[in-house]
Structure 1
Amino acid sequence: MNNNNMRRDIKTFALTMTGLGSIIGSGWLFGAWRAAEVAGPAALIAWILGTLIILFIGLTYAELGTMFPEAGGMVRYAQFSHGSLTGFISGWANWIAIVSVIPVEAEASAQYMSSWPFDWAKALYNGQDLSATGLLIAAVLVVVYFLFNYFTVKLFARVNTTITIFKFIIPGLTILGLLIAGFHSKNFTHYNGFMPHGWAGILTAIATSGIVFAFNGFQSPVNMAGEARNPQRSIPIAVIGSILMAGVIYILLQLAFIGAVKPDMLTHGWEHIQLNSPFADLALAWGLNWLALLLFADAFVSPSGTGMTYTATTARMIYGMERNGYFPKVFGFVNPKVGVPRAAMWLNLVVSFIFLFLFRGWGSLASVISVATLISYVTGPISVMVFRRYGDDIVNRPLKIKGMQIIAPIAFIMASLIYYWAQWPLTGKVTLIMVIGLPIYFFYQAKANWKGFGQDLKAGLWLVIYLIYMAFISCIGSSKFHGHNIIPYGWDFIIIIISALIFYFWGIRSGYLTKDLKNGYQPNQGEMDAGR
């Protein structure tokens, strides 16, 4: 019996709904408010730019996903192109970012409950952190996400598709309700103008206000590629389709939010709007009680749908990390009856509880998640170009996106810029989190008697130096991004763009024919079954 027998039960529509369901989670409940706080009405530009940037990055992973239709694929590509060091750093960053989304979604539901018209509900959240009761509610929700994924892939797919359809309806009603009930066009120009904090505010909003965080969900179809019935067709449709559909929804939500804010809320400017449950609070302010009730219900549905999806995808990521050689074999075991890596799910449940009690509010984790994910994003554009150097006898290429020679470097530059826009010292803190994981890498290298370590170190040196360099530039960069202003605003962008291109070409040159590719990529049994 093959322990790696992932079942290919997910069709194109369900896979697209998985991506869209991951993107439309707690991000839509809080993202418009947080972006408006940082950028004012210009948050609209932030969402448009964010959608385009993530689309460029997503295109590189759409091609990678069809080459290697693996469960947990996002943590595997860098391993295939650059060996163990790059693979571990990329996989570790991605796993940390994605597994922490599970408790964040649960916290979002509990936080929205604090606006319920009950005294006990108001005590759930104090404006910064959840109370003990709020954390207990969030913990119960995390367990619910776990149970929906524990028994079968088909149950997850059916429940997620139903929830995602519901997610279309509620944001749509929110947009219509707020636009009709009270739309103040003056909100876009008064109160310090359309761009109260200039371009710096717009760019920071992309990085830290939930925009990158929201779009992280495009990874879900890639990570579940090993269970797609027709990955060559489904993955690109699911990735591109979910990003574009979600982008339109988020832009319209931001438009409705800015117009619906009452003038008396803006007395002290956009950065001082205090809302525990942003859209629900606005609905109540305009007397839209029916909409507020729907939003309170959706505060469970939307985050829960995303939480369930991430519970599924993080288990596949642990499965992928085990296949890379960084976790015990038990985490690579897939239950043959239900096609689910249950041991990996138990590990992620424990880690989710740790994050839940370390970070007790939605906002405290969203920016950290975004920056950590960007570290894994920078390897995708490089890996896809490394694989293009090889023939079809080494890498099967069912999908070859036109213009990738231009798309890939733009995606790498954009990811680098967002990393910088996240502001110092957050960039330094996230880089430190990456260092914390290295002892695990060195433990498994020592266990393997350092076999191939020299070559992998040489191939991964570009990424190690890149992370240190980016943290350093963030530290000495413009004061607009909380740096020490040694590099003035404007020049910092030029330096990062030039530096990113240098690291991009260095990264491509560092790729080599790893053992996984040299021996011929061996799909798991589920992949072979799909090809019959």
Structure 2
Amino acid sequence: MTVPQGAALSVGAVLGTGVIALPALAAQAAGPASLIAWAVLVALSVPLASTFAALGARYPDSGGVATYARTAFGHRAAAVVGWSFYFAVPVGAPAAALFGGAYVAAAVGGGTRTALLTAAALMLTVTVGNLGGVRVSGRLQLGLAALLVALLLTATLTALPHASAANLHPFAPHGWWAIGPAAAVLVWGFAGWEAVTSLAADFRHPRRDLPRATAIALVVVAVLYLGIAAASILVLGPAAAAPGAGGSEAPLAELLAIGIAHVDHQQVRAIAAGAAVLLTLGAMNAYYAGAAKLGAALGRDGALPAWFGRGAAPGSVPRRSLLVVALLGAGSLALVAATGTGTRALVLLASGCFVLVYLVGSAAAIRLLPRGSLARRCAIVALLSAVGLLVLTGWYVLGTLVIAAGALLYARRGSAVEKAAETSADAVDSVAA
């Protein structure tokens, strides 16, 4: 995997569907003050991304954060981190796919049925794409990233001339404390810096290439996120946060409609739907690739059944692990369709898992990285940030704790089986003697 491909995977994992849905959700929570939450999370992305890039460069392994946790704290911590990331992907995948599906439904009609069918098609597409391995998914991601960056820049740059400072008033209509809930929602949009660490071993030169890819992704993500968020507030005004007013349903479409005056609204919706599909494919492609590789590593290391372990080696394709991710994701989507569960709950459940990954990964970095190094200082900031974000997750952190408990029970069972095997072997040796 090359540096541009790695950067594209990181951009897709972090930028993802957040840019088409989160500006409105954050504006609903805090109004124009949500821009502060955006700026804070962009700033916190620097130490988070730097921490995981440093770990990936030093310990390139398909286990990613689980490998760092095992090296620093042992197999139980690795199981907790590995399960938190692996099982968060099938929970978050339907939400991501439905964000894109909503744009398609807005363009072609059909409402919820169209959104669900589009979501299913997107999930199937990324599964098939990853069957070819990281080289195929990396090339796919590079093309998707180039297209979506061009489209997002077009939306921002053409809409900003229509900005009005009057849309910043009142700046904090729900009070300053509302910035916290806005930040909790935005965690979804900034999770992903850890996703590519599971693919670190697939870089040609991990120690050199992974930090370069991460640096490129940091710049691209910061510019696009802040640009879209600012344009949504300054250009759309109250409509950016008004449910059903267009802003919350398709803010990107609204920006394009304002910025490209000679294109009619239906064409704008079609363009926005195309952008939403690209963004969704990019995010899901990166997460499916990372999760599949991680699941294989967990099987290799005993944190999941050994059946998962095929495909953990660099360059190999973890088809069994990928199949499990795809089936669990399909089950989650079916549950959403049957119960009418909203995407907000799925976003917060997945975000809680990702924050726990950041928490343990940052703690492992503090223990593993050289004392006095810039990377270790970044890890300290990342750890403090993760603690704060975990608090903001609120009651949804209970889902994360359930997954962590399951990982600990499985790890304990594995240790008991291993200990019994060792005892049996010792007994055989004793009889032989």
TM-score past 0.5 threshold: yes
Match of 2:31 in 1: 40
Match of 2:398 in 1: 428
The one of 85, 103, 120 aligned to 1:112: 103
User: Unaligned 5+ residue runs, structure 1?
Assistant: 1-9, 125-130, 390-399, 453-532
Match of 1:179 in 2: 160
For 1:145 and 1:243, the matched residues in 2 are separated by 24
For 1:451 and 1:84, the matched residues in 2 are separated by 18
Contact 1:73 1:223 in 2 (8 A): yes
For 1:105 and 1:429, the matched residues in 2 are separated by 18
For 1:435 and 1:376, the matched residues in 2 are separated by 14
For 1:231 and 1:88, the matched residues in 2 are separated by 24
The alpha carbon displacement at 1:194 in A equals 1.1
Deviations 1:234-265 (A, max 9, x none): 111222331232012101101110122255x4
With normalisation by structure 1, the TM-score equals: 0.72
With normalisation by structure 2, the TM-score equals: 0.87
For 2:315 and 2:191, the matched residues in 1 are separated by 27
Give secondary structure in 2 for the equivalent of 1:164: helix
The alpha carbon displacement at 1:172 in A equals 0.7
Match of 1:409 in 2: 380
For 1:335 and 1:76, the matched residues in 2 are separated by 12
Contact 2:303 2:407 in 1 (8 A): no
Contact 1:76 1:324 in 2 (8 A): no
For 1:55 and 1:382, the matched residues in 2 are separated by 16
Aligned letter for 1:217? G
Match of 2:278 in 1: 301
Contact 1:93 1:376 in 2 (8 A): yes
5 Å matches for 1:468-487?
Answer: none
For 2:255 and 2:3, the matched residues in 1 are separated by 36
Deviations 1:316-335 (A, max 9, x none): 11022123312222321129
User: Unaligned 5+ residue runs, structure 2?
Assistant: 423-433
Q: RMSD across aligned C-alpha pairs, in angstroms?
A: 2.7
Question: For residues 439 and 44 of structure 1, do their structure 2 counterparts lie closer, same or farther at Cα, with a shift above 3 Å needed?
Answer: same
For 2:313 and 2:14, the matched residues in 1 are separated by 30
Aligned letter for 2:382? A
The one of 9, 19, 27 aligned to 1:18: 9
For 1:401 and 1:342, the matched residues in 2 are separated by 41
Give secondary structure in 1 for the equivalent of 2:204: coil
For 1:357 and 1:91, the matched residues in 2 are separated by 25
The alpha carbon displacement at 1:402 in A equals 3.2
The alpha carbon displacement at 1:270 in A equals 5.7
Contact 1:215 1:243 in 2 (8 A): no
For 1:117 and 1:14, the matched residues in 2 are separated by 32
Aligned residues with identical type, % of pairs: 22
Match of 2:184 in 1: 207
Aligned letter for 1:296? A
For 1:273 and 1:436, the matched residues in 2 are separated by 42
Give secondary structure in 2 for the equivalent of 1:302: helix
5 Å matches for 1:41-440?
Answer: 41-116=32-107, 118=109, 121=110, 123-124=111-112, 131=113, 134-180=115-161, 182-189=162-169, 193-208=170-185, 211-261=186-236, 265=239, 275-281=248-254, 283-284=256-257, 288-289=263-264, 290-334=267-311, 339-359=316-336, 360-388=341-369, 402-423=373-394, 425-440=395-410
For 2:163 and 2:63, the matched residues in 1 are separated by 44
Aligned letter for 1:219? E
The alpha carbon displacement at 1:36 in A equals 1.0
Aligned length: 413
Aligned letter for 1:234? D
Aligned letter for 1:444? G
Aligned letter for 2:280? P
For 1:203 and 1:239, the matched residues in 2 are separated by 27
For 1:45 and 1:336, the matched residues in 2 are separated by 42
The alpha carbon displacement at 1:451 in A equals 9.1
Deviations 1:60-81 (A, max 9, x none): 2111111211123122111111
The alpha carbon displacement at 1:450 in A equals 7.2
Deviations 1:196-236 (A, max 9, x none): 2333222221222xx22122222233121010001001111
Give secondary structure in 2 for the equivalent of 1:194: coil
For 1:57 and 1:325, the matched residues in 2 are separated by 28
Question: For residues 89 and 153 of structure 1, do their structure 2 counterparts lie closer, same or farther at Cα, with a shift above 3 Å needed?
Answer: closer
For 1:428 and 1:273, the matched residues in 2 are separated by 33
Contact 1:38 1:204 in 2 (8 A): yes
